[in-house]
Chain A
Amino acid sequence: MAAPELTVPDLEINRRITILPLQEYYTSGHRTCQGCESALVMRYMAKVAGPRTLVTGTTGCMYVANTSYNSTPWSLPWAHTQLGSSGSSAIGTSAALKALMRKGKIPDERINVIAFCSDGGGGDMGLATLSAAMQDTRYNLLILLYDNESYANTDIQASGMTPWGAVTAFTPSGKRQRITHHRWKKNVPALLMAGHPTGRYFANTSSGFGMDLMEKVRTALDMDGPTFVQTHDPCPKGWDYDPRMSHELAVMAVECGITVLWDCLEGELRYQGISRQQVEGKLRRRPVADYLRRQGRFAHFADEDIDFFQSRIDEMWEDWILPGVLRVNQTPFGPGGSRG
């Protein structure tokens, strides 16, 4: 069916959005929570990718909540893939398209291949397959990791990307032990970037910055070779807050310097928007307490826990050569600045 013709009012205030298609390729009728920002990420991703796109997704909310009981909100061809296998699924899909085109079975044209995963299926279980995908330069693919900071679908278990101290089904707060999640969140885009010089594009973004997110997805799809985009998505169920705050929390995480908007295009690292202003010293970071105190998963935090959280964030901005991205200290070769 031809996409409907729709007029878009062209206004100064949000001009960049008007150039986007109004068509949705991920549409209404998904069983996600009220205020699910990961669903919004799916919407943005499908919108900029357009109709010549194949999507696969690993088990998790964006599989289970979207495509249950024999129904779907996708207008794009979409297939489920095993939890942990987004990298292999992206390579396989891309390789299959290439073979079909080489054999003349389908026209030789640009078809986007996107495999999405979340922090559990991608950042923990699927890390090996993500690594394999970032190494193989023969295939054009995008891995999108929507980071809702837990194994959300199975009712919120801690992952390697759950923030320090947060309550999850695996890390309750008790009378004897207030904090039971002791791991500091891992930085998957930086880890993939640092270890895979063959990857063409790595980016970190947030559901609260739709334009930044869509620009990054588009940039990734326009590159040849492996690309990776991660989005930080507030999850009202697992983070425990009123769903109407979803968007604001995503923005706040960036204002506090917890989430950093950056990308690395062929080895060139860039910061965007608020994060860029923070790096350039033009904007002060907001205290992390503003963000933490608004979520039930941090309701048990004592002041000292907030102070600890703040100190780790300060360190990553003040001591690292690449603020918020890679932990290499300002004096990389120890005191004196050289190896000798």
Chain B
Amino acid sequence: MSVGAVDITYRGIFQKNLAGVITKELVKAARHEDKIGGTVQRYGDSPERNGIPAKQFSVIADDADSLRVEMTKYEPSNVVVVAVMDDTLTKGVESWAWYGVRPINLNLAPGGTLLVISRRSAEELLELIPRREYAWNLAILPGEPSFGGLWVYNDDGTDYRTMGAVSRVAGDLVSLDSLLAQAASGQDGELRAEQLREGHDSVRAYPVDAGVGAEDTYEPVEMPGWTQMREGLVIPAVPVGETNPLFKKYTTRTARPLVKFDACVKCQICYTVCPDECFIPTPEGHWDIRYESCCGCGICAQSCPVTGCIEMVDEAVFDSNEPLHGVYENNREEYEELRQDKLAKAGGPIPHYGIF
């Protein structure tokens, strides 16, 4: 009696419909192999918020009893594929119900596959993904993250390409043939078949040995239980000048604002419009950014009156959440070099990523 799950880790709301299509279609395809399955949206992520990491699962079993047992669990136990819909999520996810940031491959079964949609190389990704005590596989499906909205779906084929890739790395769970049969029974069958094959053929897998990958600096995550709650559900207020110690929000972001302090006219607009209270005044009149709190919405970059002063830069090229004005104060040239270096690594600033 066997049961396995595919975990779709994605950006809340932006990729909610995408994850929904993938999880449901995988389960329907598995029926063509006389398997039985179900989908789960992790309750702890609900209601989803834009950008905040979230998960949906397809659970596929040989028989109904195994499925039932698995579906009663908070999260499925045998996750054979974790499909990551945006590669900045590989820096770790801070989701709703837990305190702390979880490694992206925390629940991946030994020998399982972490499938990432990315333009980066395996080496680059393994600088971000922590090592495990067991061997696993890293699979890369070349592509950009596909972002849509709650109402307007970004129908760019990422859904079927991802399913095709899943069938390549976990053919025992659901095969390409079953996916093709399922697609043929729906709308746009030929287009879907093409996308499935493209995903299946273009994915590249790399075995990762135990102990290979980034250093695991993650603290254990904690899920608070009722025993920790005070009478009357009283929560201590945040002391003035501090921030909520139990939730940081930075794993929400796909890009971060990088300031060219030399261009800043000290107008304070960025500080005024930031919904996440990130800006810290400096004696010079510049506004430093507390990256730990920044969710990467981009409102500051959009509102700054000086063109090119605040730019949104791919989160994957940064390795620290420390504010950066200190570097600037120490040495302006050095700061400018750092800024240029990050922009070059990221391939320039990100102008806009929604459909609307």
- Contact indicator B51/A11 (Cβ below 8 Å): no
Complexed CA–CA distance, A114 and B110 (Å): 53
State A44–B71 Cα separation when bound (angstroms): 44
Known: A33-B49, A34-B295, A244-B302. A17 touches B268 (CB 8 A): yes
Given contacts A3-B240, A75-B238, A248-B302, contact A31 B249 (CB under 8 A): yes
A192 located at the interface, meaning its Cβ lies under 8 Å from any Cβ of chain B in the complex? no
Within 8 Å of chain A (Cβ to Cβ): is B118?
Answer: no
- Residues of B with C-beta under 8 A to A247: 273, 299, 302-303
Q: Is the interface of B mostly helix, strand, loop or mixed?
A: loop
Q: Which of B229, B239, B298 contacts A244 (CB 8 A)?
A: B298
Q: Which of B266, B273, B274, B281 has the most CB of A within 10 A?
A: B273
**B244 partner, pick from A1, A64, A71, A155, beta carbons under 8 A:** A71
Minimum Cβ distance to chain A for residue B283 (Å) = 6
- Residues of chain B at interface, number, CB under 8 A: 68
Q: Which of A264-304 contact B (CB under 8 A)?
A: 294-297, 299
Interface positions, chain A 116-136, Cβ under 8 Å from B, are none
Interface residues of B in 242-294 (CB under 8 A from A): 242-249, 252-253, 265-269, 272-278, 281, 283, 285, 290, 292-293
Q: Determine, out of A22-30, A91-99, A222-230, A311-319, the stretch whose residues face the partner at the interface.
A: A22-30
- Given A70-B228, A74-B237, A75-B239, A6–B281 Cβ distance below 8 Å? yes
Q: Please, which residue of chain B has its CB at the minimum distance from the CB of A36?
A: B275
**Most chain B beta-carbon contacts within 10 A, residue among A32, A37, A155, A299:** A32
Which of B13, B265, B297 is most buried by chain A, counting CB atoms within 10 A of its CB? B297
> Is the beta-carbon distance between A25 and B275 smaller than 8 angstroms?
no
**Can you identify 5 A-B contacts, CB atoms within 8 angstroms?**
A31-B247, A69-B96, A70-B229, A156-B150, A246-B297
C-alpha gap A11/B269 in the complex (Å):
12
In the complex, the answer to whether A11 meets B266 with C-beta atoms within 8 Å is yes
Contacts A68-B96, A70-B229 given; does A240 touch B269 at CB 8 Å = no
Q: Is the CB of B51 within 8 A of A33?
A: yes
Q: Which of A31, A237, A241, A294 contacts B96 (CB 8 A)?
A: A31
Residues of B within 8 A of A177 (CB): none
Tell whether A40 is near chain B: CB-to-CB under 8 Å: yes
Contact of B241 (CB < 8 Å), options: A4, A11, A69, A297: A4
Residues of A at the B interface (CB closer than 8 Å) are 1, 3-4, 6-9, 11, 13-14, 17-18, 22-37, 39-40, 43, 51, 64-65, 67-78, 153-156, 167, 210, 236-238, 240-248, 294-297, 299
* A75 near B240: Cβ-Cβ < 8 Å: yes
CB pair A11–B268 under 8 Å, yes or no, is yes
Question: Are B244 and A30 touching (Cβ within 8 A)?
Answer: yes
Cβ–Cβ < 8 Å partners of B276 in chain A: 28, 30, 39
Contact present for B355 and A296 (CB under 8 Å): yes
Q: Does B235 contact A (CB under 8 A)?
A: yes
**B73 near A: Cβ within 8 Å?**
no
Q: Is the CB of B347 closer than 8 A to any CB of chain A?
A: no
Residues from chain B with a CB closer than 8 A to the CB of A68 are 96
In the bound complex, do residue B273 and residue A7 qualify as a contact, i.e. CB atoms below 8 Å apart? no
